[in-house]
Amino acid sequence: YKKIWKEGYNLTDPSAKEKEIYVNVDISEKEYVRASLYLVKKNILILYFGTFFILVTAFYLLSFGQSQLSSLVIAIIATLFVLILSFYRTIWLYKKKFKKDRLLKEKVTYKIDLKGLESSRERGSIFMSWSDYISIKEHQDLFLLYISDTQAQIIPERCFQSGEDKQYFKLLMANNK
């Protein structure tokens, strides 16, 4: 964030208080799926480790005199199978949800300033102050503004009109985490 300060952004400067940026967001299916996977990452990891533990225990108890190593190998293979199957099923479910949910495909315009974000869409608008967000994170080329542990507003980097707007948004994020 030092680069941002060098470019002249200082949130105590009166002109920064008047600055507002507009971001037009239209989420793609790929961006929605990626953001959704970030949101459930912790639950997925718990599921995978829990599955591994249960399978190791089950195969160990059912091995009756076979080597413990073979039980462990079988448990690892079974866990990998479950992991791959559930991962692709999860992606399929998010793609299905994206195709069915009209609101996810609707264009949203965010007005972003020192006070927070106002999101406007065809059906209306809502303002959320920075304190309404429980967490704000940047993942690769997506910004996730967490409303709850399982819900977030998605703003792809590609939607910013300029690099300057993106840097200003990052500065606001850094000051409101």
Summarised one tens digit per residue, pLDDT across range 137-160 is 888 889 999 998 888 999 999 999
pLDDT at 158: 93
The answer to whether 93 touches 101, Cβ cutoff 8 Å, is no
Strand partners, 25: 108
The two three-digit tokens of residue 64, written as one number: 């009756």
pTM to 2 decimals? 0.75
Residue range 105-137, pLDDT digits in tens: 899 999 999 999 999 998 899 999 999 999 888
Calculate mean pLDDT across residues 72-84. 81
What is the pLDDT at residue 10? Answer: 55
Q: Please, what is the average pLDDT of the chain?
A: 83
Residue 44, C-beta contacts closer than 8 angstroms, at least 6 positions apart: 37, 86, 87, 90
For residues 172 and 105, give the distance between their C-alpha atoms in angstroms, rounded to a whole number.
Answer: 26
State whether residue 109 is helix, strand or coil: strand
Residue 144, pLDDT score: 92
DSSP per position, 95-108: HHHHHH-HHHHS-E
**What CA–CA distance (Å, rounded) separates 18 from 96?**
41
Cβ within 8 Å of residue 1, ≥6 positions away: 170, 171, 174
What share of the chain has pLDDT > 90, as a percent? 41
Q: Picking from 71-80, 82-91, 167-176, which range would have the lowest pLDDT averaged per residue?
A: 71-80
- Read off the DSSP letter of residue 159: G
- Which of helix, strand or coil describes residue 148? coil
pLDDT at 63 over 80: no
- Alpha-carbon distance of 72 to 75, in angstroms, equals 5
**Pairwise CA distance, residues 166 & 26, whole Å:** 16
Measured in degrees and rounded to the nearest 5, phi and psi for residue 142 equal -130, 145
Q: Dihedrals φ, ψ of 107, to 5°?
A: -70, 135
